[in-house]
Amino acid sequence: MSLLKNLWGTVLSFVTNISFAPSYIKVGAIIVLLFLLVVSMASFRKHFVKWSLKGGLIGLFFGFLLALLLEGFLLIGGKTAITEVLGWKNAPKPIKTALDLGRSKLINVLGITDEIPKSNAFSTPTAKDAIEILQSLNPTEIKKIKAIICIQ
């Protein structure tokens, strides 16, 4: 019995002395949770929905192809679907390294030298932007806007 206690104490002291960076813990947690999600979805499909996968193989193929194309375009633009969906500003170091390697390989294969510029569609407009747009309109449009804003 004391041998078992000594062995257990040795194992616990060894395990508690190991330290992992938080980014590795996050990556491990994400992988485990994704595995559990896939297993639970497979179990749900098997027990509650009696689907056949024979007709869905072509859809699965085109879905995979579409996901690869979308991820490729996002990689070229300096983003990834993972970081966009999870909203990460700074992804964990292992994921960032893997994504950068994939991005560089994709850029080498495609032969692209410039990144796609970031979209300005999500920038918040300012008063200066509104004035610039107003000044770029033709005089009839300016009169319509003045009639709407400056009600006498």
pLDDT tens digits for the chain (152 residues)? Answer: 677 777 777 767 766 666 666 677 777 788 888 888 888 877 777 776 666 666 667 767 777 777 777 777 776 666 666 666 666 667 677 777 777 777 777 777 777 666 555 444 455 778 888 888 888 889 898 888 888 888 75
- End-to-end Cα separation, the chain, in angstroms: 95
Is 26 within 8 Å of 82 (Cβ atoms)?
Answer: no
- Report the C-alpha gap between 73 and 80 in whole angstroms: 9
Q: pTM here? A: 0.31
- Report the C-alpha gap between 139 and 65 in whole angstroms: 50
CA dihedral (46, 52, 56, 57) positive or negative: positive
Segments of the chain assigned E as strands: none
